[in-house]
C-alpha cells in the first residue's frame, strides 16, 4: 500500500506512504493515488481532501528505478503515452475534482513532487519545505506538469528552472504558491484546522467557488498552456533519446548506476 486513505468528519486524508524511498513516485503509487482521489471525489461524505506524506520528505519526484522499459523497448511514443496518462491526465483530473483540496508539504518536494501538490487548491508548507525542479540538468525544460509560470510568475519560474535551486517555504509563500508556512511539528494540525474550517461551508458553494477560480485560469490559457508545454517537455525526452538512447541526458552514468 503506497497510499493510505482515511475519512473523518468529512475530510479525506490521502497519505503518501513510501517514506523509505522519500515518497518517490512509481507507477503503483500514482495509480493508487489516482484511485484515492477518485474515491474521495465520489464519496458524498467527503467535503475536503488533504494530501500529505509520511516521513521526512513530501516527495523526491519520479522513481527512476520504475519508470522506463529497457533500452530496446524505449521509444518517444512509449514515453509520451505513459507520461500523458500518469503525469498529465492524472494531475489535471485531481486539479478539477469539485471539492477543495489541501496539500501539506514538508522536507523536499522535488520535480514530480510538485505535480502532487500543485494540483491541490491550497498548500500548507512546513518551515523546512523546499520546492525544486532540477529537470533542466537532465536536458529537459521542466517537469511534465508546467505549473511553474502560473504558480510563481514568469521571472521566478525562470530562475528556479535555469538554476535548479530549491525555493524555500518562505519564498514560496511570498510568491503566493503556498498559503501559509507553519513549524514542522504543527503541519498536520494546521492543515487539519484549515480543512475543518472549509468543511463547515456548504458543499455546493465550495464547488462553485473552486470552479470559478479554475475556469478563470482556464480562460486565461492554463489548460491549453499545460497541454502545449507537456509537448515541449517531450521534445527534451526525444532529444535525449536521439543523442544517448536514454530518455534523460545529464548524470546519465550516475542514473544508470542507480538503476542496476
Ligand atoms: Zn518526462
Ligand 1 centroid – CA 141 distance (Å): 10
Give the pLDDT confidence of 109-160 residue by residue, as tens digits: 999 999 999 999 999 999 999 999 999 999 999 999 999 999 999 999 999 9
Give the pLDDT confidence of 14-53 residue by residue, as tens digits: 999 999 999 999 999 999 999 999 999 999 999 999 999 9
Q: What is residue 160's three-state secondary structure?
A: helix
Distance CA 29, CA 212 (A): 31
Which of these, 57, 78, 98, lies nearest to 214 by C-alpha position?
98
Ligand 1 centroid – CA 47 distance (Å): 33
Distance CA 152, CA 148 (A): 6
Q: Which fold does the domain 3-257 belong to in CATH? A: 2-enoyl-CoA Hydratase; Chain A, domain 1 (3.90.226)
Ligand 1 centroid – CA 188 distance (Å): 31
Which residue in the block uniquely carries the three cell numbers 523497448? Answer: 73
pTM for the model: 0.94
Sorted by where each begins, the domain ranges of the chain are 3-257
**Sequence-separated (6 or more) residues with CB below 8 Å from residue 215:** none
Burial classification of residue 64, based on how many CB atoms lie within 10 Å of its CB (0-12 exposed, 13-18 middle, 19 or more buried): middle
Ligand 1 centroid – CA 123 distance (Å): 24
Q: DSSP letter for 44, please.
A: T
Question: Residue 94 in contact with residue 37, Cβ under 8 Å?
Answer: yes
Question: Residue 100 in contact with residue 121, Cβ under 8 Å?
Answer: yes
Which residue in the block uniquely carries the three cell numbers 509520451? Answer: 80
Amino acid at each position: 500500500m503506497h497510499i493510505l486513505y482515511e475519512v473523518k468528519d468529512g475530510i479525506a486524508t490521502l497519505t503518501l506512504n513510501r517514506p523509505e524511498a522519500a515518497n518517490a513516485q512509481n507507477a503503483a503509487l500514482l495509480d493508487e493515488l489516482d484511485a484515492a482521489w477518485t474515491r474521495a471525489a465520489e464519496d458524498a461524505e467527503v467535503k475536503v481532501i488533504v494530501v500529505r506524506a509520511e516521513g521526512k520528505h513530501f516527495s523526491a519526484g519520479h522513481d527512476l528505478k520504475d519508470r522506463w522499459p529497457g533500452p530496446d523497448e524505449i521509444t518517444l511514443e512509449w514515453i509520451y503515452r505513459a507520461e500523458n496518462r500518469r503525469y498529465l491526465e492524472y494531475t489535471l483530473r485531481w486539479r478539477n475534482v469539485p471539492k477543495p483540496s489541501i496539500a501539506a508539504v514538508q522536507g523536499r518536494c522535488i520535480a514530480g513532487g510538485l505535480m502532487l501538490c500543485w494540483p491541490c487548491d491550497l498548500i500548507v508548507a512546513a518551515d523546512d519545505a523546499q520546492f525544486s525542479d532540477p529537470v533542466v540538468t537532465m536536458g529537459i525544460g521542466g517537469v511534465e506538469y508546467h505549473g511553474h509560470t502560473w504558480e510563481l510568475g514568469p521571472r521566478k519560474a525562470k530562475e528556479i528552472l535555469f538554476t535548479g535551486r530549491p525555493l524555500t517555504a518562505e519564498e514560496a509563500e511570498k510568491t503566493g504558491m503556498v498559503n501559509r508556512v507553519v513549524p514542522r511539528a504543527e503541519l498536520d494540525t494546521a492543515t487539519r484546522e484549515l480543512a475543518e474550517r472549509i468543511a463547515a461551508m456548504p458543499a455546493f458553494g465550495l464547488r462553485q467557488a473552486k470552479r470559478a477560480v479554475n475556469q478563470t485560469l482556464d480562460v486565461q490559457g492554463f489548460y491549453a498552456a499545460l497541454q502545449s508545454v507537456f509537448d515541449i517537455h517531450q521534445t527534451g525526452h526525444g532529444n535525449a533519446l536521439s543523442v544517448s538512447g536514454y530518455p534523460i541526458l545529464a548524470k546519465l552514468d550516475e542514473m544508470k548506476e542507480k538503476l542496476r
